[in-house]
């Protein structure tokens, strides 16, 4: 199999590396936050834990049941009524992007 011979400029490489670095930092933040709120170490956030996580992201608001349900509807990819670490990471990245 022959590899493409395309080349990227230094500027493109720098931008890509910067984006990857930001992604890696976000991933570390999300995993640490998930671990902090997964108080029973089940590998999933139950509704009260998810509400606390959402509140920590936006301290001026107190998520209600509808907010938590909205996140579960969008992040609970395997329909367990809990948010697994990878699901939470995926949803938060989509919702908040680089703001984390």
Kindly list the domain boundaries of the chain, sorted by start residue.
Answer: 11-99
Tens digits of per-residue pLDDT, 8-22?
A: 788 888 888 888 887
16-42: average pLDDT: 82
- Residue 99, pLDDT > 50, answer no
pTM for this one?
0.55
CATH class of domain segment(s) 11-99: mainly alpha
Phi, psi of 44 (to 5 degrees): -145, 150
The CA-atom distances, in angstroms, between 22 and each of 6, 27, 28, 29, 93 are: 25, 9, 10, 11, 11
pLDDT (tens digit per residue) in 62-93: 889 998 888 877 775 555 555 555 556 655 65
The residue that leads in pLDDT, 50 or 91, is 50
């Amino acid at each position: 199999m022959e590899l493409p011979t395309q080349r990227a400029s230094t500027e493109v490489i720098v931008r890509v590396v910067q984006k990857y670095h930001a992604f890696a930092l976000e991933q570390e933040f999300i995993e640490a936050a998930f671990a902090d709120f997964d108080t029973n170490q089940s590998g999933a956030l139950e509704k009260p834990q998810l509400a606390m996580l959402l509140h920590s992201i936006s301290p001026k608001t107190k998520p209600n049941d509808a907010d938590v349900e909205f996140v579960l509807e969008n992040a609970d990819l395997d329909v367990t009524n809990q948010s697994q670490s990878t699901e939470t990471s995926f949803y938060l990245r989509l919702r908040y992007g680089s703001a984390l």
